[in-house]
Structure 1
Amino acid sequence: MRRFGLAALLLGSVVACAPVEKPPEPLAPGAGRLSLTPTAFGQLAGWSEDAAAQVLPALKRSCDRITRLPVDRSIGFDGVGGTAADWYSPCSAAARVPDGDHGAARAMFEAWFSPWQVSDQDKADGLFTGYFEPEIRGSRVRQGRFTTPIHGKPSDLVTVDLSKFRPDLPGEQLVGRLEGSKLVPYPARAEIEAGAIDTKAPVVAWTDDPVDFAIMQIQGSGRVRLDDGSVIRLGVAGSNGHKFLGIGKILKDEGKLGTDTSMPAIRAWLKANGAQARGLMARNPRYIFYGLNQGDGPLGTEGVALTPERSLAVDPRFIPLGSPVWVETTDPKGRPLRRLMMAQDTGAAIKGPVRGDIFWGAGEAAFDMAGRMKSTGRLTLLLPKARSPRMAAYP
């Protein structure tokens, strides 16, 4: 779906003196270095109190994807998650758990998965932020106050999946447009908003609020409540390939924010400062293009619908997409947040082994939680007990 993070001290512990898996080589300078230390479910603070069955719909969506893969397909970079075949039995067991039976769900995980404490070299603490699914006002046609276009994917946009040539760069893309035989950078946000692609990109809808639209672009996917009362859901169809520059950083550098740098405070300042806000927002060169999403929720990078408060965006260079993870952190209200989630999404700002972005759902309540989420925490990766030796990421 995403994304860029909007943002607890952990109480859990790991087995002392346990062996540490040999991590893959760093993928880039400063990218981090994954270490996995075996632990036990009894060592996970709050494990027996979590409503574990609530994660099963998200797990089943990921299982449906994984079990359609070739049996020898590696799961995760460097095969850290074993092969697709290793997931068949755990996924089958998950499908047999009765709805709402939290005890049976915990027993299933304990029977079929092994927990591994995630560290960046020897650092177990990391950052947890949040994101949500925005809803903005819109119209199918340009009329009245609806003058800001929501562009679909341009006809001249060229995207090259670098992972086909560099398996060590999962999800990385080269984006631009062709000039002769040369791929050149695609226009930046300011150029697009000035009309640079009007003849190349369809308009899927028009909105009356450039601030809320900019926030939707930060989050990725979103919903548009049309002036006829209907609602359409939009998913990310591509981007212009430019590096993301957060509006919070822009406002902070300009001295526009006080001590409150949360997304709700940023939105309030932008809406109160009209033309000045539009100029500052245009400094973020990244632009997202949209297409209609007919699914029952926003789609994450894994290609499955996200589940509120149970889906997590991670760095796929370290955490395999589709794997269960135990998160221990605190929510924006200072309450312990300890629960099972599914690694189902990624984000441009989600980098490193111990880094997570929690999907809070849709609406203002989700926006408030996501916009203020910025907590320290830890991550435990659950992998099938019967796990094949590591293989190349793309056999």
Structure 2
Amino acid sequence: MAFHLNSRALLPGVRRFASLSLLAALGLLSACTTVETPVEKKPLGTTFRAEAFEKLPKAPSGAWGEALSAFNLSCTRLSSAPWSEICAKAKWESPERAEAFFAENFTPWAVEVPGKGEARTDAGLMTGYYEPLLHGSRVRDRKNAYPIYGVPDDLLIIDLAELYPELKGKRLRGKLDGRRVVPYDQRGIIQERGDLEKWAIAWVDDPVDAFFLQVQGSGRIELPDGSFMRVGFADQNGWRYRSIGSWLIREEGLKSHELSMQRIRAWAKANPGKVKKALAQNPSFIFFEERSGDPALGPVGAQGVPLTPQSSVAVDPNRWRLGTPFVIDAEQDRPQLHLARPVIAQDTGGAIRGVLRFDYFWGFGDKAGEAAGRQKSRVRAWVLVPKGLAPEDILPGDAHAPR
């Protein structure tokens, strides 16, 4: 499993600076190379090949109906042509006619990317994620001693778009050190800061559960009275996510194929004195906000709609427009897994980068977590494009431009 962070909307009310002095902004860029910075410019090199709908991998019974329900949720955020016309049709379709609806309105295009040398490949990577269940309290007590932090007031968000329009959407995170803006604290420092406790929105009973909540980006906390508190991504400290797997391999002798969520939990239980050091290997830290909403629905993804188990995926938003339907065909050998389903791009993640890179939402709870923790699949994908259009017509504005 490639643990990732979901990119949610930023918490309203957090202090923002539309622009800082040029020297301060550039100084922060040079001081913290792991903040959001422009990617190296390279040709994307993606190619597409139209295929007949009937040649798509066969999906299990009910999968097209579930994908239609997820697509209808995305339609609440898709208001421009050609989506508005297709969404108007989708809301009147029944689950029984879901596959026919997609066949009548979309053309599948197989996705290929550059491989080794001059070769091309249709094989990518799909991992899994889920909405975890934690146990905790709104106040600290002897049992619940590990904080889930809201956004602290010393976290600054610096938007460079006013200075550099080409950096639209790129934000820096930092804090003030006298008159200087410096990178915000890494996880290891945050773990030791006692002054952040006033920003805790909940306390949970397990530090590894708290860490995996950050990896997943959202979750539910069962409170002592049996009620549930839903929390979701509010902001991040600006440091790029780093898996603790390489540290566990190097320092603890784990094998690369053992780096599932279950194996890491087992290691932590057997080595409680090393847990804090292991978690600090990942400098990235997520701050949360309490979320409301129908408990029967999934967490809200980056598109702003609830995620649908086994019908929602996270994608790279620089490559794909949220709301786009796909058919994915994923398989792996250890442990064995094969699934072929229609899915809708409704989320993003810090580790989800590239054209053939997907994160598959398994749902809520321990069973979904077990499935997500085992998944690291080869994947082929077909993007479903409204009939009469080419894939390039529905990509983000610069997705197929040199980068």
Q: Which amino acid aligns with 1:128?
A: M
CA distance in 2, matches of 1:391, 1:246: 30
| Structure 1 residue identity aligned to 2:110 | Q
Residue 391 (structure 2) pairs with residue 393 (structure 1): no
Cα distance in structure 1, aligned partners of 2:68 and 2:161? 30
Secondary structure of 2:310 counterpart: coil
RMSD over aligned Cα atoms? 2.7
**Greater displacement, 212-221 / 155-164:** 155-164
Which residue type is aligned with residue 299 of structure 1?
A: V
Residue identity matched to 1:287: F
2:379 partner amino acid: G
Instruction: Summarize deviations over 1:69-95 as a string: whole Å, max 9, x none.
Output: xxxxxxxxxxxxxxx221011111110
Aligned pairs for 1:358-377 within 5 A: 358-377=360-379
> 1: distance between equivalents of 2:280 and 2:372?
23
1:330 CA drift (Å): 2.3
CA distance in 1, matches of 2:3, 2:158: 20
Check 1:390–1:223 CA distance in 2 against 1; reply closer, same or farther (3 A cut).
closer
Partner of 1:37: 49
What does residue range 1-395 of structure 1 map to in structure 2 within 5 Å? 4=4, 28-29=40-41, 32-46=44-58, 51-67=63-79, 84-98=80-94, 100-101=95-96, 104-121=97-114, 122-161=120-159, 172-179=170-177, 182-195=180-193, 197-198=195-196, 202-258=199-255, 259-296=257-294, 297-330=298-331, 334-387=336-389, 393=397
Kept in 1: contact 2:319–2:395 (CA 8 A):
no
Question: In 2, are the aligned partners of 1:187 and 1:196 still within 8 Å (CA)?
Answer: no
- Tell me the distance in 2 between the aligned counterparts of 1:48 and 1:166: 48
Question: Any unmatched runs of 5+ in structure 2?
Answer: 6-37, 115-119, 399-403
Change (3 A) 1:378 1:164: farther
One-letter code aligned to 1:229? G
Give 1:165 shift: 7.4
Instruction: Please tell me whether the aligned partners of residues 134 and 209 of structure 2 are also in contact (alpha carbons under 8 angstroms).
Output: yes
TM-score (ref. length: structure 1): 0.82
* AA at the equivalent of 1:4: H
Residues 37 and 185 of structure 1: is their aligned pair in 2 closer, same or farther, counting only changes over 3 Å? same
Aligned residues: 353
SS for the counterpart of 1:371 is helix
One-letter amino acid of the structure 2 residue matched with residue 337 of structure 1: L
How many percent of aligned residue pairs carry the same amino acid? 39
Q: Distance in 2 between matches of 1:263 and 1:238?
A: 24
Q: Report the TM-score when normalising by structure 2.
A: 0.80
Distance of 2:309 and 2:231 partners within structure 1 = 17
Report if the CA contact (8 A) 2:64-2:99 is conserved.
yes
Identify the range of structure 1 (160-169 vs 141-150) with the bigger mean alpha-carbon deviation: 160-169
Kindly indicate whether the alpha-carbon contact (under 8 Å) linking 1:86 and 1:386 is maintained by their aligned counterparts in 2. no
Instruction: State how far apart, in whole Å, the 2-side matches of 1:38 and 1:120 are.
Output: 15
Change (3 A) 1:288 1:42: same
* TM-superposition CA deviations, 1:45-103 (whole Å, max 9, x none): 21586630111221111110112xxxxxxxxxxxxxxxx221011111110112x31xx
Query: For residues 249-279 of structure 1, what are the alpha-carbon distances to aligned partners after superposition, in whole Å with 9 as ceiling and x for unaligned?
Result: 2211213314522121111101221121111
Q: Deviations over 1:259-311 (max 9, x none)?
A: 52212111110122112111111121111000011123212111111111111
C-alpha separation between the residues in 2 aligned to 1:302 and 1:292?
18
**CA 1:120–1:46 in structure 2 vs 1: closer, same or farther (change >3 Å)?**
same
Pair 211,173 (structure 1): closer, same or farther in 2 beyond 3 Å: same
| Paired residues of 1:3 and 1:346 also in contact (CA < 8 A) | no
Inter-CA distance 4–181: structure 2 relative to 1 (3 Å threshold): same
